[in-house]
Amino acid sequence: AQSVAQPEDQVNVAEGNPLTVKCTYSVSGNPYLFWYVQYPNRGLQFLLKYITGDNLVKGSYGFEAEFNKSQTSFHLKKPSALVSDSALYFCALLGSRGASGTYKYIFGTGTRLKVLA
């Protein structure tokens, strides 16, 4: 079965501290993984993706994510959090739709990040 889990509904971090937003996945075969951010009443903005290659992926706004195959995780990180990073973060897995041969995104339920001044 293909799935994505974001185990934390909310993460609080002080401004200037490092942040981590967790994501784990389950898929047969090689995973394609994505992180998106959503600000209130807005669409999702693409942050970064892992397809293959280096396990540390760098993305927009200073974010990076670490792919760990043995732990089936793809955690989002930032060395120093900003108040403006406060938003809803989604992890997504590109999974197959089985016999149809097409693919679809499987989204996690989202993690609300709150950066405290």
Residues at the contact surface with another protein, assessed by CB under 8 A: 9, 32, 34, 36, 41-46, 49, 90, 94, 100, 102-105, 107-110
Residues 6+ apart with CB under 8 A from 102: 96
Rounded to whole angstroms, what are the CA distances from 94 to 91, 102, 108? Answer: 10, 10, 12
Cα(84)–Cα(51) distance, integer angstroms: 28
- Least separation in angstroms between CB 72 and another protein: 18
- Token output for 83: 């108040």
- Least separation in angstroms between CB 47 and another protein: 10
- Choose between 25 and 36: whose C-beta lies nearer to another protein: 36
- Choose between 91 and 115: whose C-beta lies nearer to another protein: 91
- Choose between 9 and 70: whose C-beta lies nearer to another protein: 9
